[in-house]
Copies of this chain bind each other. A is one copy, B any other.
Amino acid sequence: MNLPKFVEIIEVGPRDGLQNEAKLIPTDKKVELINLLSQTGIKRMEATSFVSPKHVPQMADASEVLRRIDRVEGVQYMTLIPNLKGYELSKEQGVDSIALFVAASETFNQRNVRMPIAESMKQLAKVVEDAKSNNTFVRFDISTAFCCPFERAVPVDNVLRVVKELESLEVDEIVVCDTIGRANPKQVYEVFSEILNLNTRAKITGHFHDTYGLSKANTIAALQAGVAAFDASIGGLGGCPFAPGAAGNDSTEDLVFMLHEMGIETGIDLTKLLQCVDLIKGVTERDLTGHISKIENLVI
């Protein structure tokens, strides 16, 4: 098996995870979680987002979260930005790392941000340009890069077109997302092989959900295609709050466990990571979908 020696894990629980929780999480607990995650060896995380408080009330405390967290030297705290307005808010807070997003599927982009992909790209290109002139790190998520809930399978050419456009904007990182968790390992291997063939300057990161139980199988496929950076969410937070019992984002602790068992380094302390799971378990008061935290007398 073609495997890297080191894999980078980007924690998205405080943002992509918590934004899907039906129950409003107190700001104190968000700050506590981000501070605890900062002690695990994780070097990059999505901390919050400047989205509409009307649409995503869970993220209404973005400014307060950013003000209150204890920033650890060497840890990057990213903020998700949907549009120019969110970007202006993030600038006021002195945010130095932003995450933007566009879909690879036209219908999904329309439903998500009420505009065509081309219009999203046009507006966000301005954000990228300004951000880069301010030395702000720009991560860019491509949603529904494999499957769309409305259009089903997404042609690889659609994804490649977006990747090329983002590369021409000189973004720092392109995150290829299986938003609904329905990608399969064969497709993942093929899509990432084509993307990596483009030899982008931007880092290429994989982002999987475990909705259909395939996040780890897809990770193995992506690893073999040459991907060595993955998003994950503590406890498996995330996904869709309207699908009770369905799994969310790929769980950080399970992913780190798998990689370590395979002899792949992550720089992350799994014991400390499990303390973050305990914290989030108490806060969400629901059954999390990660696996290893449920094993009695776990030996790691």
CB within 8 A of A3: which of B186, B211, B257, B287? B186
Q: Which residue of B lies closest to A236 (CB)?
A: B213
Contact indicator per residue, chain A 207-224, by CB within 8 Å of chain B (1) or not (0): 000111110110111001
Q: Pick 12 A–B contacts, CB within 8 A, sort by A.
A: A1-B189, A184-B262, A185-B258, A186-B261, A211-B291, A211-B295, A213-B216, A213-B251, A216-B217, A217-B219, A243-B296, A246-B295
Whole-angstrom CA separation of A217 from B262 in the bound complex: 12
**Interface residue? A46 (CB, 8 A):** no
Top 6 A-B residue pairs of the complex, sorted by shortest distance between their CB atoms:
A213-B291, A216-B217, A184-B261, A186-B262, A245-B294, A213-B254
Q: How many chain copies does the complex carry? A: 2
Other A-B pairs beyond A1-B186, A217-B217, A243-B296, 5, CB < 8 Å:
A184-B261, A185-B220, A211-B291, A214-B258, A244-B294
Number of interface residues of A (CB under 8 A): 41
Q: Please name all residues of chain B whose beta carbon is closer than 8 Å to the beta carbon of A163 when the two chains form the complex.
A: none
Question: Across the interface, do A221 and B1 meet the contact criterion of CB distance under 8 Å?
Answer: yes
Question: Across the interface, do A243 and B211 meet the contact criterion of CB distance under 8 Å?
Answer: no
8 Å CB contacts to B: which residues of A228-242?
Answer: 242
What's the least CB distance linking A292 to chain B, in Å? 6
Q: Which residue of B lies closest to A193 (CB)?
A: B1
**Interface residue? A247 (CB, 8 A):** yes
Q: Please name all residues of chain B whose beta carbon is closer than 8 Å to the beta carbon of A210 when the two chains form the complex.
A: 213, 291
Whole-angstrom CA separation of A248 from B235 in the bound complex: 19
Whole-angstrom CA separation of A262 from B182 in the bound complex: 11
Contact indicator per residue, chain A 1-17, by CB within 8 Å of chain B (1) or not (0): 10100000000000000
**Interface residue? A206 (CB, 8 A):** no
What's the least CB distance linking A154 to chain B, in Å? 14
A185, A187, A242, A294: residue with the most chain B Cβ atoms closer than 10 Å: A185
Q: Please name all residues of chain B whose beta carbon is closer than 8 Å to the beta carbon of A296 when the two chains form the complex.
A: 242-243
Question: Across the interface, do B258 and A217 meet the contact criterion of CB distance under 8 Å?
Answer: yes
